[in-house]
Every structure is written in structure tokens, then in C-alpha cells.
Structure 1
Amino acid sequence: MSTAAQFPAGRPTVAEAYAACEAVTKEAARNFSYGIRLLPAEKRGALSAVYALARRLDDIGDGDLPEEAKFAGLAQVRAEVEELGTNSSDDPVFVALADAARRFPIPLEAFIELADGVESDVRGTTYDTFDDLVGYCRLVAGTIGRLSLGIFGSERATSHRDASGVADALGVALQQTNILRDVREDLLGGRIYLPRQELKAAGVELEVDATGRLGGPPDALIAYLRTSAQRAEEWYGRGLVLLDLLDRRSAACCGAMAGIYLRLNRRIKTDPSAVLDRRLALPGWEKAVVAARSLAGRPEMRAA
């Protein structure tokens, strides 16, 4: 469902716009909502506005519209972002985002990159090498890291020589986990993100059998998924340096969001067969535990 379809008609107040974005986040963010709720109100609203627009782009890419209509939808979002604050949009997402951009140094150009990443999904782009895949991950997830950093802020992050690169690396780590978790679901939808050269070298040809189980052949696939999860964990190690650059509440938010995905990644590394016939997910109580530990200053990476 498009996020816009959930909003009432008419130009909202800024407060109403933020409330609408927070409602979308609470309903659809799943893993991210556990971290966002740890932020103070002003940052929570701003990050919810960022998420709501990212979600809309996702909905365009994953929806049932014809390809040309998807391209048109992505172009419209790009135009709205480029004109943000100079027009009188009635769309709650853009009303909230325009206000957030006045309050925080949000790198709005990252939304253009995100739209480019979604467009590559619509085109069915595949990736030859891991470096190619990293480029895609930077578009669809590194952008979210950089957008979030603009809201988190801190003197330490501002003075760090590459805080933006660290945030980008954390996004790349999370996206690798997404890809490993969803490899079966993506294949059923006609998408393959894993690098072709790596699959070939590992002796893997992805397929789903008559029972709906992913294979190709199973032993080689399991070994490849385990190695890929280990590589993703190394990216978490680079990205979670970000926690040391943030204030307590922002670090708790970031640590909770990343910690949930890191737990998923470790499950895949320990038992790759868990993703061969279902979409792996943590139960709500376990996500809450990760969030509570992050708020207490004991994020997932450091507790391992």
C-alpha cells in the first residue's frame, strides 16, 4: 500500500504531517520502529518523515503498477524533493520533511540516489561482482544511513573526518543482511541480488524446488550464505563505529536498528538453512530486548 493512501485529504498542519509520518513508521517500519521510538520527539518526527518518504519509494518499486508508471512515480518524487520548501505541497510527507530539513542538516540529495536505486530494481538490474552489489547497497541503504546521520548529529560526528562514510557502511551492512534474508523471496519475485561471479565460483545456481525450498545445490548454497553473512558482519564492524560519534539517545536508536539486523545476520551465519524455506524474522520480544540493551548503552556488537 502506498503511504500516501493512508493520509487524509487537505493540507495538514506541520504537527498533523509529523503524526501521519509517525503512524506510517509505527505500522510499516517493523525493525526500524524499535530504534526510532528511542529518540526525543523532534528527532523522532524528523526520522519518521525520512522513513515515510523512503517507504513511498519502496512502495513504488515493489507495487503492481506498469513499469512506465513506476518510472513516472519515481520521477515525481525526485521533482518534489528538488522543490522541497519552495512549493505548497499538501502531502503530509513533504510537509513534514520540509520542516525537518529546516531543523536538521538532512542531505536531501540522498533521496535522489535512493530513487535511482529503486529504479534499478524496477529495471531488474543484476550484479556481476560484490563491488557492483556494494554500489547498489549504497544507493538503497547507505543513503538511509547518511539521511539518519543528518538528524542524529553531534559535535563528534561533525568533526569526524568520515562520519558520512561510516553511516554509509552501516547501511551497506544492513542491506547485505536484507539480501541474505530475502534471497528466496526475491528469487520467487524474479530478482537476484547476489553477485553472479561469486555464485558461479561457489557452484551455486539459485532455484526453488517443487516444495518451495531454495537450493542450488543446498550444500554449496549454505556454504556461500555463511561466508556472505560473515562478510556482512565485517561491514557491521565498520559501520557501528558510528555509535561512538553520537549522543546517547541517537546512539541508542542507531544501535537498536542495527542490532536487530545484526542478530538476524548472526542467525544466518550460524544456520543458513533458516532462510531456505521462509523469511527469517526476530520475534517482537527479542527486538524489544535489543532496543532496551541499546538504550542501556550495551548495543549488540559490543555484547557479542
Structure 2
Amino acid sequence: MIRTVEPEPHASAPVLAAYSYCEAVTGQQARNFAYGIRLLPTPKRRAMSAVYAFSRRVDDIGDGALSPDVKVARLEDTRALLGRVREGGVDEDETDPVAVALAHASEQFPIPLGGLDELIDGVLMDVRGETYETWDDLKVYCRCVAGAIGRVSLGVFGTEPGARGAERAPEYADTLGLALQLTNILRDVREDAQGGRTYLPADDLAKFGCSAGFRRRIPSPDSDFAGLVHFEVRRARALFAEGYRLLPMLDRRSGACVAAMAGIYRRLLDRIEREPEAVLRGRVSLPGREKAYVAVRGLSGLDARHVTRRTVSRAVRRRV
């Protein structure tokens, strides 16, 4: 069982300033993530902001307008910084607020920092321009850039004492990360194509006549783009169903946080399913008021066990 360490009641001024920086980064740049972590108590919210700010730094290196060699060097520098955090080599006088906040968070919570190493590995896969022949291949990438973050987050959330099946909580957190990442891939399919990236498995693209890619706003007439999207949506729903088994293992506010983030992505998936070709015209998103509604609904009493039973039942009927 993963247990949350009770955080210290007070942090020093430099540590609080570092957390404030990370929370500002999260609020400004996390389109969906921020809605969930607002539901957490302050120590967990700060820790999750530190995790996000570090992850954002890694992603920004991968997405930046730099040569591959420079990206690799910066990612390895970031890995070295993570190593110092892991070894207790970062103190509150450091000038890097992300390092200070992450170091403090990892002292307060049993965060598996190796998951952030996996994130760096995943972004290196992007830098190398890797493509994926099968879903099993793509899962390796998704586990690095999203499943690992689910497991890192679980270190902050912890599991409820006596929660049934809690030994499988990291597995469910990982699977929920895969569901979120596959939804991201569907949402960003044209944007990624314009950047020279294709994530969907080549086997799936060939099956639905979509191997030519997604640079056009209108799918090729000899392709079944809607069929491809619906196939991947079903796969994502099955992953959500499995990942939702995590919710009853969490305390109320941590469960609400996860339910809010996952709920936003599931609604996004619903929109993509209803109008597959919309992802070729631009980024599909939810309005802020709808995201806020999902977050409040999660906190105000959406029963995690009910959600899990209902979602699993639906997935069984529609399994890929």
C-alpha cells in the first residue's frame, strides 16, 4: 500500500516562494491539469504543482525550436538535476525554484522520482522522431510520458488505509495516464502532423486507409478517418474503464482531483467521437465553464465506486 507521509505544517519562505512559482506555471500553462489539482489540500496541491512545473520544463525542451543535439543535451542536464533532487543535493538556497519545490515535495511525500526519468526518456523518443508500428509500441511511449506521471502523482495522493486491492494502484494510475495520452494524441493529430510527428500506430493507419497522414483539413476520400477515430476512442474508453478502478482507493479530495482531470478528458473524447473530422480543423477543447463544472461535480459527491462500476460495465459492452 502507498501511504502518504504527513507533510510538515510549515515551510520556509524560499520554499513557499518556489511553490508559488510552480503554481503560477501550472495556472498559466496547464489547460486541464489545473482544474483537478485545485481540489487538493494545500500541501498536495503544491507538490503536484512542483511535479507539473518540472514536467512542463521537460516538455518545453522537447517542443522547442532547438536542434536535436541541443535538446538531448538539455534533457540530460535536466536528468542530472533530477538526480540531485533524488540524492538530496538541492537545498532551499538554490536559484531554480522548480528544483527547490520538487526537492521539498519529494521530502514530504513518497514520490517515485524515477517516473520523471521515464518522462525524459519519452521526450527523447520525440526528439529522435520515433514512430510506432503497433499499439504495443505506442504504449511504451505513452507509459513514459503519461503513465509514469500517473504513478508519480499517486505518490502525492497516497491510498486510503485498508483500501482493497491497493497494491494495484500504480498499475491503474499508469493505465489512466495511457487513456489521457491517447485522448491527447487524437485531439492533436493534425497539429502533430504539421510538426512532422505521427503517433497513431502504423498498423491502425493502414487498416483504415489513413497512412498518408493528417496534414489536410479534409480526410482523403479513400480513407475511413471516422472509423480510425472511433476505433481509437473505443481503445481509450477501455483504458479509462480500467484506470477508474483507482478512484475508490483514494481519499475524497484526491479522488475528486483524479475524477475531474479524467472527466475533462472523457468529455473531450465524447466530442471527438461525435465529430471525428473536427480534429483535422483545429484543436478540440472544452470551454472553461464546462471544465469547472466537471471539477465541482467531482468534489461535490460523485461516488467513485459508482463511476467505476458504471464505466467498467460500459467498457465490457464496447471492448475493443
Are the equivalent residues in 2 in contact too, given 1:184–1:214 (CA < 8 A)?
A: no
Cα deviation for residue 299 of structure 1 reads 6.9
- Residue matched to 2:281: 277
User: Which letter does structure 2 place at the counterpart of 1:244?
Assistant: P
Tell whether 2:250 aligns with 1:246. Answer: yes
Q: Which SS does the other structure have where 2:197 is aligned?
A: coil
- Residue matched to 1:199: 205
Q: Supply the distance in 2 between the matched residues of 1:54 and 1:36 (Cα, whole angstroms).
A: 15
- Residue matched to 2:262: 258
Are the equivalent residues in 2 in contact too, given 1:60–1:70 (CA < 8 A)?
A: yes
- Residue matched to 1:34: 35
- Residue matched to 2:171: 165
Are the equivalent residues in 2 in contact too, given 1:127–1:195 (CA < 8 A)?
A: yes
Give the gaps of 5 or more residues in structure 2.
Answer: 1-12, 312-320
Are the equivalent residues in 2 in contact too, given 1:71–1:119 (CA < 8 A)?
A: yes
Cα deviation for residue 148 of structure 1 reads 0.6
- Residue matched to 1:93: 98
- Residue matched to 1:187: 193
Cα deviation for residue 221 of structure 1 reads 1.0
Tell whether 2:110 aligns with 1:105. Answer: yes
Which residue of the other structure, out of 203, 217, 237, is the alignment partner of 2:241? 237
Tell whether 2:118 aligns with 1:117. Answer: no
- Residue matched to 1:23: 24
Are the equivalent residues in 2 in contact too, given 1:142–1:170 (CA < 8 A)?
A: yes
User: Which letter does structure 2 place at the counterpart of 1:253?
Assistant: C
User: Which letter does structure 2 place at the counterpart of 1:29?
Assistant: A
User: Which letter does structure 2 place at the counterpart of 1:86?
Assistant: G
C-alpha distance 207-134 of structure 1, shift in aligned 2 (>3 A): closer
Q: How big is the alpha-carbon RMSD for the aligned residues of Structure 1 and Structure 2? A: 2.0
Are the equivalent residues in 1 in contact too, given 2:79–2:120 (CA < 8 A)?
A: yes
Are the equivalent residues in 2 in contact too, given 1:205–1:216 (CA < 8 A)?
A: no
C-alpha distance 290-94 of structure 1, shift in aligned 2 (>3 A): same
TM-score (norm 1): 0.91
- Runs of 4+ in structure 1 deviating by more than 4 angstroms, as ranges, are 156-159
Q: Supply the distance in 2 between the matched residues of 1:208 and 1:68 (Cα, whole angstroms).
A: 27
Show CA shifts across 1:208-259 (max 9, x none). 56xx505234750111111111110110000111111100000111111111
Percent identity (aligned): 52
Are the equivalent residues in 1 in contact too, given 2:198–2:213 (CA < 8 A)?
A: no
Q: Supply the distance in 2 between the matched residues of 1:158 and 1:56 (Cα, whole angstroms).
A: 36
Are the equivalent residues in 1 in contact too, given 2:22–2:53 (CA < 8 A)?
A: yes
Q: Supply the distance in 2 between the matched residues of 1:214 and 1:92 (Cα, whole angstroms).
A: 45
User: Which letter does structure 2 place at the counterpart of 1:242?
Assistant: L
- Residue matched to 2:15: 14
C-alpha distance 257-271 of structure 1, shift in aligned 2 (>3 A): same
Tell whether 2:53 aligns with 1:52. Answer: yes
- Residue matched to 1:145: 150
